[in-house]
Amino acid sequence: MDFKSKFVLVLIISLLVINSFVLVFFIKKSITGEAIRDDVKLKSPTSIDEDKETETQSTDEGSIGSGGSSSSGGSSSSGSGGSSGGSNNEQKNGQEEEKLEPAYFKLTSPTSKWADFYGSLTIDNEPAQIGDEIAAFAQGNLCGVFIVENKGSYGFLHVYADDVLTREDEGAISGDKIIFKVFDLSKGIEREAVIVDNANAIWHADERIKIDLED
Ligand SMILES: [Ca+2]
């Protein structure tokens, strides 16, 4: 056997080896995929949405199985991965629509106790707009954040208590006077809010306190 034919032989063998690795990889991938989906089915038999999703995925698998040749199996399994990613994104978007999250004021360590503040909210002589934010401060500490959901009002704004067992000052203690700041989303401006009629914005755990605000 001369050098050239040896080289060709080695080339053919290595191609065969690579091919079989690729095959094993796709087979493993489809097996683990099935196992995970079975888990999902077992964990939440009540969730109709998830059941629907698993059903559509299993029909995908069916088509992979009937696809026959290994290469088509590989490509359609990556296709189903893409479609499940898409449905995850849809779920995320759905959650965002349900609940707006404050983006300007960031609450770092909410505790398990709070007081609720609510009332009207006027910014720049106009009713607060959806997406505007309001933050509550006790002794200079940010301890409550709310994003406006209904034009011209806010609440319930949870204003959290300090955890007496930690040295860090997480929030309010009984008798603290609360200062409010607002963030006007359309103008991108933060301002301190004025409490209408000088009402007493005094914090007491578990209370609901109506405070109208303007700026
Ligand atoms: Ca503390």
Max intra-chain CA distance, the chain? 102
pLDDT for residue 44? 44
Q: How far is the CA of 212 from the centre of ligand 1 (A)?
A: 29
Higher pLDDT, 131 or 16: 131
**Cα-to-centroid distance, 161 and ligand 1 (Å):** 9
| Residue 165 CA, ligand 1 centroid: distance in Å | 6
Looking at 50-207, which runs of residues are DSSP E strands?
114-120, 122-123, 126-127, 133-138, 141-147, 153-160, 178-184, 189-192, 194-195
Question: Mean per-residue pLDDT for 84-104?
Answer: 58
What is the pLDDT, as a whole number, of residue 148?
97
Q: Find which of 58-62, 95-99, 144-148 is predicted with most confidence, using mean pLDDT.
A: 144-148
β-sheet bridge partners, residue 133 = 147, 183
More confident residue, 62 or 114: 114
- Distance (Å) from CA 175 to ligand 1 centroid: 16
- Ligand 1 centre to CA of 172 (Å) is 9
111's tokens: 């505790």
Residues in the chain: 215
Sign of CA dihedral 49, 52, 56, 59: positive
User: Which pLDDT band, with edges at 50, 70 and 90, does 24 fall under?
Assistant: low
The stretch 74-82 carries a mean pLDDT of 42
Give distance in angstroms: CA of 106 to centre of ligand 1: 18
Answer for the pair 110, 150: CB distance below 8 angstroms, yes or no.
no
Dist. CA 167 → ligand 1 center (Å): 5
Q: How far is the CA of 173 from the centre of ligand 1 (A)?
A: 10
What does the alpha-carbon distance between residue 5 and residue 11 come to, in Å, rounded to a whole number? 10
What's the mean pLDDT in 131-136? 97
Dist. CA 159 → ligand 1 center (Å): 14
Nearest to 183 by CA among 141, 119, 150, 136: 136
CA of 205 to the centre of ligand 1 (A): 15
- Separation of 168 CA from ligand 1 center, angstroms? 4
| Average pLDDT of every residue of the chain | 76
Q: How far is the CA of 52 from the centre of ligand 1 (A)?
A: 46
Would the pLDDT of 82 be above 90?
A: no
* pLDDT at residue 50, rounded to an integer: 46
- pLDDT at res. 27: 62
Stretch 45-61: mean pLDDT = 46
Write the single-letter amino acid at 155.
G
Q: Scanning the structure block, which residue is given the tokens 């909410």? A: 110
